[in-house]
Chain A
Amino acid sequence: MSNSMDDVAKYAQAFFIIGSNTTEQHPVFGTMLRRAVRFRGAKLVVADPRKIDITEFATLHLRQKPGTDIALLNGLMYIILEKGWEDKTFIEERTENFDEFKATVMQYPPEKVAEITRVPVEQLYEAAEILASSKPTAVLWAMGITQHIVGVRNVMDLANFQMLLGNMGKPGGGVNPLRGQNNVQGACDMGGLPNVYPAYQPVTSNEVIEKFGKAWGTYERGKKKEESDSFIFHLSSKVGLTVTEMIPGIPEGKIKSLYILGEDPVMSDPDTNHIRHCLESVDFLVLQEIFPSETSAYADVLLPGVSFAEKTGTFTNTERRVQMVRRAVEPPGDAKPDWWITSEIAKRVLFHLSSFDEGKGERRRIDLEAPWAKWDYKDTSAIMDEINALAPSYGGITHARLEAEERLQWPCLTVDHPGTPILHTKQFTRGKGKFMPIDHVPPAERPDDDYPMVMSTGRVLYHWHGGTMTRRSQGIMQVYNEALVEVNPDDALKLGLNGRDRVRITSRRGSIEAKAWVTERVPPGMVYANFHFPEASANELTHASLDPVAKIPEYKITAVKVELA
């Protein structure tokens, strides 16, 4: 998020929620938005094919056809330009490439947009007026925007939207993607991505490689003293594979072994049958988990890690706020903190690699004299010291400061830096904000005669992702104990559901049977399914069409047929 949650809740005059089921997926933030609408009179425009709960509080609900977000946004921006509602000063002073962008937007007059999106022209005008006349408007989104083959383009168009209205770098405005998992922000920040080291330092940069090479001791020194600047660094400058490439890369022979920490690809990745096939063919799979999962059936080694209640360290939330996690209880049995397990594996692998001198593989030499080469951490605070030294935006975020109840949001460069609640206040990371001309592209898999309906996927309030945790929570299972598939009453009538409640949903890749929830939450022609229960997981049906840049799968649009089960 460019802004903070309390900031947008307090200062936004309007919210534009597109592709976020906020009250179910970020429930406490959802209540902050409800409060802003009810008690402060903030306006709310929701754009979502589904009648999600927060639409009850909406000034206006746009029910666009799935996969037409760009057309919708361009249509709104067309009206804003037509009416002269854009922020001319902001565009002039803080942005570039406006003319090229404008030429594209001008291809999206309201009538054409209404045809593509099925949102009536009057509603387009109404929405544009609310969002342009409320200063500032905060844009909020989640996976409904990103899980498309045009995920990156969707996000860029939202950035265009906020630059056009001059809502960037201001309290109550900004571009605000809501991060899903408790520490997905932190996993990205810490270099858990194939293209960047911690704090988004690119793997392709020689400077970065040299920095980490020297810190981690992954180099060979020049033979003579005077050659000491001629290091050879053994860090890869090749961008790695994403999760959506790694697992499908197994049968292709690209990937031979996998080390998975706290993740359940059989439940969470698209096209489960194919994932199973891939995991069957891997040479060696190490899974570090707190529970046996659907994926553990394919693991060669299962290592017992611990839950958040059994370890101390930090999580980073969706607004870049770093907060302490504290050990409350002892781990069960022989389970160990995950940082300990990874360190032990690292130490032992280094020992083995040093003995593979003559093997085919490249010899791994680590200079243990280098400042951060070693793996002998006594606790996570010692690991944070290393992060402070190597990840600039975390430079000043120490356990000591957090324990002293300092509230820190990165970037926080030094120990006396107060942190940064709002990004891009003076300028963008690249200097001027660049408008990008973005065109509508239809989704990868469209309904046809064989698979006439559209399925979208996501979570529900009561469950969490693959369900490993929440399916083991007694009270939660009392309230929600099996997968429910949302079916529109019109479709239920056509199906002849007539009191029966089981449906079979089939895509080109698989089939599931689940209980139908007949509800107007979904429009006719659309069903909504979750992936919380292995016996009826939506991911049996989804497909691995990826955004070309972000490699994110198009979970939100799968062509399916629905029958009585």
Chain B
Amino acid sequence: MRTSNAKVSSNNRTKFNVVDTPVPKVDGYALVKGKTVFTDDFNIPNALTVKILRSPHAHAIIKSVDASKALELEGVICVLTHEDVPRVAYTRAGQGYPEPSPYDTFVLDKKVRYVGDAVAIVAAETEEIANRALKLIKVDYEVLPAVLDYEHAKDDGAPVIHDEPEISGAYDVSHNIASHYEMHIEDVEEELAKSDVVVEGTYYTPNQSHAMMEPHTAISYFDPNGRLTIISSTQVPYHVRRIIRHVFGVESRVIKPRIGGGFGGKQAVHVEAYVTAVTLKTGRPARCVYTREETMTASNTRHAMRFKVRVGASKSGELRVIDMEGLSNTGAYGEHALTTFMVAGSKTLPLYNKVKAVRFKGDIVYTNTEPAGAFRGYGAPQGMFALDCALDELANKLGMDPIEFKLKNSIREGETSPVFKVMGEGREGVEQIIQSCKIEECALEGAKLFDWYEKKKKPRINGTKARGYGVAFAMQGSSIPAIDMGGATIKMNDDGTFNLMVGATDLGTGSDTILAQIAAEVLHTTTDKFIVYSSDTDVTPFDKGAYASSTTYVSGNATKRAAEKMAQEILKAASEIMNEPVDSLHLENGQVVSENGTSLTYSEIQTKLFYTFKQRQLEVTESFVSEVSPPPYMVSFAEVEIDLETGKVEVVEFLNYVDCGTPINPKLARGQVEGATAQGIGMALYEEHVLDKNGRMVTNDFFTYKIPARKDLKNIKVKFAQSYEPTGPFGAKSVSEIGLDTPGPAIANAIFDAIGVRLRKLPIKSEEVFFALNS
């Protein structure tokens, strides 16, 4: 049996028919024509508008809520407070179950823990009435002192943020520690003592807003049979369904339509619980669309982190020790607290596997600020900013080129790192031998393309401008091994098409498209023969959702397995129909071809199976869970220009050289890297939350919170290494997150190269550079 003509080699990208070609997105026509595909585009008759009354205080006890005036308003249907919703502790984090995040959240609580925390749910006939009702609700608060600075969250006498008895899973609530983690390999103090050169530094990465263009949105209703149905802009429909059942004790169907961006921000239950509470209470459909301000201030943010780093090396540039002590701000609730912190180590440390001793430890603390959550990179950009910058400083101190130094100490094919086994996500990890790693090609070919060595010879200062060049290395993972599972179902139709049903959650990444490409490659047909339907918990098989760089790898492998099984089913059916042995048949261009030259199209086969011959529907379901998490690798080169009079930093060129295995769709893969780089540049130079003295976020819209616009970005270039991951579907690894890991360190390293000042806190705003130049 031949199911694929592809020839496999570990170094050269294989020739495929459909994979590794830039087919347009399968959902692209609908999107580019502006069809009604997003949650708020759906007309649900009789739907109530749901609005949330939010706390103006960072930390307060709700003594009483008087909604009588609001309820008198015509068109107000209900106002729900903590007394009206189940008191069930949960985590909003959409993770594998049981979740490593503490159960420290209630749909509504009698205490509020940040400015923006939910106090009451209002449902009204129109948005205007709902907004008026919000203003008529009187809340009596007992205002408590708040913890706004995460570096003081553990201080003696700091206000305790979580004192409710029902919560579980938090590490030490009396000191506001949501989670704690520590590991070490060998003795870091001993290795530091043996090191010829040591660098110590403290590095900060900021909160960052996902700023996806579509705000958080959900609609709930009872279907004609009384089944609760939730349409939600979510990355994790199956986790939403599980959490809604945990909190409300009700079964539901969760449908994910197109999503207007997520980046991890929609890897949590935000709106679904509020609309569900209203539909359960009133029996009516309920719609809630967050405002931009709510999306900015009352959903999730990236965990701000501080790392105190010590690294040491021998004179000849052998890295001896990495010691990272971290502190992470999880805000008011601990969603993704432990796991993002661990990823700051587990997706950075194995890159430098030549090191003799490693220590990684720290606390993840509660504060009275917006809860942090999952955000593309998931801790790795924070950890890599600290580690890569420290190694850059070390290379500088050694008088070595940073590319040479980082390459000398980084991992290669056939090697491993003990960190893989020690650190997983919320628990121990898995051992793995690296089977694909083109970090050398990425670094050396990238340096050539960027003209690194020639550029480094140039003078840095030219009049009032300075130029600098920085490099950063990164790795990520492909899925959470031994935890996250994805399934795929393929059904054959009598017109030669296939329904591909996946729980995998396309949030704009193009996963529907690349899964169709994988299936088409196996089944020797074209992508347009696949009708992809994704993420409807009543229809599609389970999938963990879109996160952890897992869809291409996990859902892709599940789809490949399902397609391979479908190929067998087709060949078996054809063998019976054609009366020829299976071994003499193969798939080719949407048909089964026999050695004797006869053939049957898929359409002919399924038509016979429907109506006239051994009647049956061909349909298969397969699942995949990985034992390993093959890292993609990337080396990025940044050229910055700094205005010495104003401190203005411009990223003149940013080159990414990426090893993601086979890019299933090169254009979509390139788009993932370009987009992640843009977000990384935003994190490096512009994006920051500013709180007033009462804890209110003043950077709550696109004027005050600066995401890069077109003219803020110059030339982002992407090149893919020739690479093939044997465990991936057609050699693929992940590509969606890694692009965010390098801009911070590459730009900070370039700024140092330009002006000789090491800035260790992101974002590096022009003002910071100006003050650094003038201090």
Judge: A and B partners, yes or no: no
Residues of A within 8 A of B (CB): none
